[in-house]
Amino acid sequence: MGMDSLIGGTIWDEYSQKVTDLMNNPKNMGEITEEQAKEMGAQLIVADFGAESCGDAVRLYWAVDPKTDKILESKFKSFGCGTAIASSDTMAELCKGKTVDEAVKITNIDVEKAMRDEPDTPAVPPQKMHCSVMAYDVIKKAAAQYKGVDMESFEEEIIVCECARVSLSTLKEVIRLNDLTTVEQITDYTKAGAFCKSCIKPGGHEEKDIYLVDLLDEYEKEKMAKAADASASGSDAAFKDMTIVQKIKAVDKVVDDNIRQMLIMDGGDMEILDIKENGENIDIYIRYLGACSGCASSSTGTLFAIENILKEKLDPNIRVLPI
């Protein structure tokens, strides 16, 4: 069974019951022969994949109906630890009954989730997650053989986190839109880095071309460059170039520093609901709270004062619209 059998102590508590059962009694281990495939009227596909990080390898067998592209039978042979056996067995099970195109959409996280006893409890400990991430690659290889194409044709994006199948473009977009600054935040938003942790920084189970810490560093440099440009050219361009989250934070800061205390003294307050660009204007939608919501000056003097301060501090094209 490999290294899994050498692990002692309470680490077994970190494996789901499904995983421990499949380690010892896999349901789909074995092979499909040419004769068996012919009896089903199917085409036999055999694909191999090995993980350099731990020496595990898996061979996937498919019997595919050429008329419907449906996978009639799916089996595997695993050359590795118990975790690799359990995940390979689960992968083979998930392939059954699917078309080849549907099977290609099966991700490593789909396999891991299928092995969980409880939806929110990981099936394997983090240090063994890298043994469970071969599914996508061997499925892609099998599909490429069946379709007679290069397996890389299935990969449309650069994948940074293999465990959760999170792409580089997705990570960059999530970091930018939500102004993320820590790996923990990235994991909360995308699940990247939650499992084997190889994608977080150098030194993990697998060497990567790009890591989460690199993306955070890149984003921080971009923000510093924008801040430098803003100091040189004034604040107008800086505010317009901010993400929606950054704009809301900037408006909140100006309100906190210059406006909110006056509203609170009168028994009221305000909150930012949304910010939208409308031609040259930047419309800030607010809601008055407390006494301000029924105050006559909330749509005249108070509104005028709030708008003027935001124009002065952030952008002259700002309009404040109470809802």
Q: Retrieve residue 32's tokens.
A: 């499909």
Domains and CATH numbers, the chain: 2-155 (3.90.1010.10), 156-233 (no CATH), 239-322 (3.30.300.130)
| Helix extents (H) in 179-211 | 183-190
The pLDDT assigned to 7 comes to 44
44 DSSP β-pair partners = 63
285 DSSP β-pair partners = 274, 321
Express each pLDDT in 49-66 by its tens digit. Answer: 876 555 678 999 999 999
Close Cβ partners of 8 (under 8 Å, ≥ 6 residues apart): none
Express each pLDDT in 58-113 by its tens digit. Answer: 999 999 999 999 999 999 998 878 888 999 999 999 999 999 999 998 877 788 88
The pLDDT assigned to 5 comes to 43
Active-site residue, from 95, 131, 196, 199: 131
| Helix extents (H) in 71-107 | 82-95, 100-103
The pLDDT assigned to 132 comes to 60
Q: Would you call 163 a catalytic residue per the annotation? A: no
Express each pLDDT in 140-164 by its tens digit. Answer: 899 999 999 887 766 666 889 887 7
The pLDDT assigned to 156 comes to 61
Contact 76, 88 (CB under 8 A): yes
Question: Distance (Å, rounded) from C-alpha 15 to C-alpha 124?
Answer: 5
The pLDDT assigned to 296 comes to 67
Active-site residue, from 54, 95, 196, 199: 54
pTM: 0.53
Phi, psi of 64 (to 5 degrees): -110, 130
C-alpha R_g of the chain = 27
Q: For the chain, which ranges sit under pLDDT 50?
A: 1-9, 235-236
